[in-house]
Chains A and B, each alone.
Chain A
Amino acid sequence: QVQLVQSGAEVKKPGASVKVSCKASGYTFTSYYMHWVRQAPGQGLEWMGMINPSGGTTTYAQKFQGRFTMTRDTSTTTVYMELSSLRSEDTALYYCARDFNLPPECYFDYWGQGTLVTVSS
């Protein structure tokens, strides 16, 4: 069965960086794009970016350009997201989500369990 298992909670100081992993299993890793979505406390879902695990190409939301990086390791079927220059507003639950993409059917069908990143001095 498809599973996305994320790394554990992180506490970081302002200005630091955080790297969160998402290990995929139960399907062909390179056949599905992976996305990152976050939810700050009391806020809605916010799309951050996506990666093509096959070639490694990425697309990021304009808001995060310059301090957000997505990478993948095909040998371990793991996708990573790294967010730098952290500020308190980055405190959020971060999710990876698999993209089922067969137009016109394009949706996130499996999600990781979420990783809480807390930014606090």
Chain B
Amino acid sequence: DIQMTQSPSSLSASVGDRVTITCRASQSISGYLNWYQWKPGKAPKLLIYAASSLQSGVPSRFSGSGSGTDFTLTISSLQPEDFATYYCQQSYSAPRTFGPGTKVEIK
């Protein structure tokens, strides 16, 4: 199974900050990497697919990059509605493993 790790596990940031979250796969997954946002009481929401493609309707302040084993999610200017937990997920092979999540909290 492909293991996914994320760093940091949590971070505190202010509105307007630039935030970067890193995801690493235990083996190469090419560009088969997705990012989801999760808020309590809601279903996860797809933000980025295929490492760098922005899902329709997602604000352009979200961006993704990377390939192989190392990936990054960047929020260019954090907004109040962005405080949430972010998960990466590999879609290279089953099981479609998720990272452990990064909780973005208000500073």
Contacting residues, chain B, for A113 (C-beta < 8 A): 43
B99, A108: Cβ atoms under 8 Å?
A: no
B8 contacts chain A at the CB level, 8 A cutoff: no
Closest B residue to A95 by CB, please name it.
Answer: B43
Compute the total of residue contacts between A and B using a CB distance below 8 Å.
Answer: 64
Q: In the complex, which residue of chain A has the Cβ closest to the Cβ of B44?
A: A111
With CB as the reference atom, state the residue of chain A lying closest to B9: A44
Chain B neighbourhood of A50, CB < 8 A: 94, 96
Interface centre among A45, A100, A109 (most CB of B within 10 A): A45
The answer to the question of B91 belonging to the interface, with a C-beta cut-off of 8 Å to chain A, is yes
Q: How distant is the Cα of A50 from the Cα of B44 in the complex, in angstroms?
A: 17
B46 at the interface (CB under 8 A from A): yes
- For B100, what are the chain A residues with a Cβ–Cβ distance below 8 Å? 44
List residues of chain A with CB within 8 A of the CB of B44.
37, 45, 95, 97, 108, 111
B34, closest chain A residue (CB):
A107
A78-120 contact mask (Cβ, 8 Å, vs B): 1 or 0: 0000000000000000010100100111111101111000000
- Chain A, Cβ-Cβ closest to B6: A44
On chain A, the residues within 8 Å of B83 by CB distance are: none
**Contact sample, A vs B, 11 pairs, CB 8 Å cutoff:** A37-B44, A45-B44, A46-B98, A104-B31, A107-B49, A107-B89, A107-B91, A108-B36, A109-B55, A111-B44, A112-B43
